[in-house]
Structure 1
Amino acid sequence: MGTVGIQRKQILTYCSLTAGFGLLNSAYNFYYVKVFLNFYHIQEFWFQLSQVLFLVWNAINDPLLAYYSDNKNFKILRTRRNIILYSAPFFSLSFLIPWFPWSTNPVIVGLHLIFALCFWDTLFTFIGLAECCLFTEISQDSEMRITLTRASQIASLFSSFSVMVLEHASNGLQDFKSFQVTTVLIAILSWFLMYYCGKNCHTQYDLQQMQHGEKSPDEVCHERTGQESYWQQTWQIVRDINFISFVVTNFFQEFHQTFLYNFMAIICDQLISADEISQTARSTFYGSVPFASKILVISIAPILRHFSYKKVIRANFIWKISGGLVMYYVNGNGHPWVLIGFLLIDDCFANGTFSLFNLPLSDIADANMVKYNRKHPISSMVFGTNALFVKPAISLSPMLVVAILNKYGYNQMKKSTGDMTNPSVNPFNSAELEDLKGVMFSLVCLYPVVLGTIQLLSWSFYRISNKVELEVKTA
């Protein structure tokens, strides 16, 4: 098979992983908070405790798995392909854990969420790191990476339909049995896609061993550094100004993205009544949000060949600040379709920009390889160390929002509402309800303003302008 044929196969297998991974990730992030808050009625103490433990577990498992992936030679870790192949069925299983209640006992509900989050994140990290490393190691060519970015977003168009399918299958979670059955079908399909990638995807370093060492795919082994400790490699990474700049930017991007994933449906259900926008239209909107963000990345990918990703990412932060301020001062809360439009655009830019973040992290990994004269980039360590600092945002963001909402009576409103799947039927005090709606609207508008300002400042310290600099250094 020629070089072009090999590249096409690598793109296809990588896209298969992206589609399978995205099917689970989109649905999990969109539903787990709503299911535990509104259906299992988890107590705030247990919700916050689960997020704290989740945060701690994130801090332990990401760098640990990253170091082992780059430096140990267990069978499951021999190649990025092996990691995906053996982890995929467990990842699909972890996706199903939240949707099947264990008990109505408050303690059991709390333990259910703790287990679900930690089990999910362990497999999410394992396969997510392998996916990121594949992106870096399939090719060092910047054109190939842009092509991979665009192709993976096309594949993600398929995976983004998981939310829409679940919304319509369950009628906005009103038919929970149908929701559960659909999640099982999605998990099986996702496992099949990831299995295909695990059987067929090879990095450029794997291919070199197969071509020059005449090794079979099963004999290929990821080259280990083996001589440096975890702390040495971590110190080399965290002292890089480009890495520091990126991590701060990425932390607040994850913070914003998690807020939109977890609370968009909850906030829209309260700010927009069923009389203004029907449940069918609302479900279509929720399902189209992840789809629209993929279209954005596919559209701007050709721009990356003319303008650096650094400028494109910076433009997103300028939008966050200006868009949030305009929305707040025009009082979009009184215009449901304007609010829907703003949330759609905000989510598109948040998720679209996040989809480009593999490009700077890959360049940071390549720069590290050049600086420390390595034969192979320590991609897992770079991505894992990034996750060590960034993943806490996934816990801190919902903790902060739930605390704010409960301060304004959201928990009391849930208790006073007999059926949370029908928020229009609400005996909650009208004045308190208006205060709650006001703070929800403020969160929607001011979150992007505050986070975008911090990101615009931190991103200004990122110094790698394009891949040409690395290619010159390598030469």
Structure 2
Amino acid sequence: MRKSWFLKENLLSSSSMNFKVFQGICLGAAVLSLICLWFAGQIGDKSIDKRSEEQDLHEFLLENEPDSEKSPTFSENVENSVKLTKEIVSQRQFLAIVFTNFFHTARSIAHMNFASIITEIVIPQEILPSGSVKLSLFFMVLTLGPQLVLIFNEKLIARVGAINVISISYIVSFFSGFLIILAGNPYMIMAFMLVDCITVHTIAPLFNIIISDFVDDDARKNNRPSGIPSIVFSLNALFVKPAQSVAPVVIVYLLNQSGYQEYLKTKMESADLKSTILLILFMTPSVIGGIQYIIMRSMYNFRRPIVRSTHVV
């Protein structure tokens, strides 16, 4: 949703150059969101009214049931949550998922937020003019390409396994960084950005699959009656969310060290700034992909769980 919004806004407002059109789009999005929120509230009120009587009756029966078990106290809930958290965090597989997902989120945010800066500085204006249809189409390919690859290769991913596909993407990312030797060709840079976009944004949804697999494996190892997906996904978000703030800070710091602030004033890129952007563009997938592959291979169990079928005679 965020990518499609960026694509439409970038196309209609000429890369945000037409500020009035940009304001109109924001206002239209706000009104549409308000309408959707109002309809959702109306539907929710009706469903709540239908369930209220049943819920009151259910609570009345529970209160008057002599053998009903007492609900755990607040301190017992906290103690149980801390215990479950320790059990999850102490597992190597969970740490492998969290660490690799952290780096992947940082790489994804950096790629999505700085694509326009990269194309503006390292791609000549003759090829991708600022605010042109060509630039919008290029961003559209970067946006829709990974989604199409994921959709059309759904069966292949299911057959190979999400974790194996993720590991292959790390290998491709690592070796793709060596294409920096061809960075003098702007078309090669554009092709690399497409490959990098596919290896980043196609793999991101697969983390939900391996986290779900971990939930099932955790329930089996700890003899739980059912999995605890809410705690696992919450802990994953707790450790991964900071990457969304760390990545832009690091990239902006590196750009400012190479004179990006001066470029914003003069619109004249220096050789130092261009070389820094090329290093960030090509070395980020190589370094992060290598780290992710090492972490995943050393800490994650790639064996698929054995599913035993039971026959009722």
- Give me the TM-score of the superposition, normalised by structure 2: 0.80
What is the aligned partner in structure 2 of residue 205 from structure 1?
A: none
Which of 75, 84, 90 does residue 239 from structure 1 map onto?
90
| Pairing of 1:11-410 with structure 2 (within 5 A) | 23=1, 25-26=2-3, 161-187=4-30, 192=36, 226=77, 228-278=79-129, 279-325=132-178, 327-330=179-182, 332=183, 334-410=184-260
1:182 partner letter:
I
2:170 partner letter:
F
Residue 272 of structure 2 corresponds to residue 435 of structure 1: yes
Percent of aligned positions with the same letter in both sequences?
Answer: 27
Shift of 1:372: 3.5
Shift of 1:474: 11
2:108 partner letter:
Q
Shift of 1:375: 4.0
Unpaired segments of 5 or more residues in structure 1?
A: 1-22, 27-160, 201-209, 418-425
> Bigger radius of gyration, 1 or 2?
2
Which of 463, 466, 473 does residue 301 from structure 2 map onto?
463
Query: Cα 1:338–1:194, aligned 2, differ >3 Å: closer, same or farther?
Result: farther
Render the CA deviation track for 1:39-98: whole Å, top value 9, x for unaligned.
xxxxxxxxxxxxxxxxxxxxxxxxxxxxxxxxxxxxxxxxxxxxxxxxxxxxxxxxxxxx
CA-atom RMSD in angstroms: 3.1
Query: Cα 1:284–1:352, aligned 2, differ >3 Å: closer, same or farther?
Result: same
Unpaired segments of 5 or more residues in structure 2?
A: 45-50, 59-70
1:321 partner letter:
F
Shift of 1:305: 2.8
Shift of 1:243: 0.4
Q: In 2, distance between residues paired with 1:411 and 1:437?
A: 13
User: Matched residue of 1:357: which SS?
Assistant: helix
Q: In 2, distance between residues paired with 1:370 and 1:389?
A: 24
Q: In 2, distance between residues paired with 1:308 and 1:194?
A: 41
Q: In 1, distance between residues paired with 2:96 and 2:9?
A: 38
Kept after mapping to 2: 8 A contact 1:370/1:473: no
The number of aligned residues is 282
Render the CA deviation track for 1:144-192: whole Å, top value 9, x for unaligned.
xxxxxxxxxxxxxxxxx32221111101110122123223434555673
Kept after mapping to 2: 8 A contact 1:242/1:464: no
Render the CA deviation track for 1:239-258: whole Å, top value 9, x for unaligned.
11110111111111111111
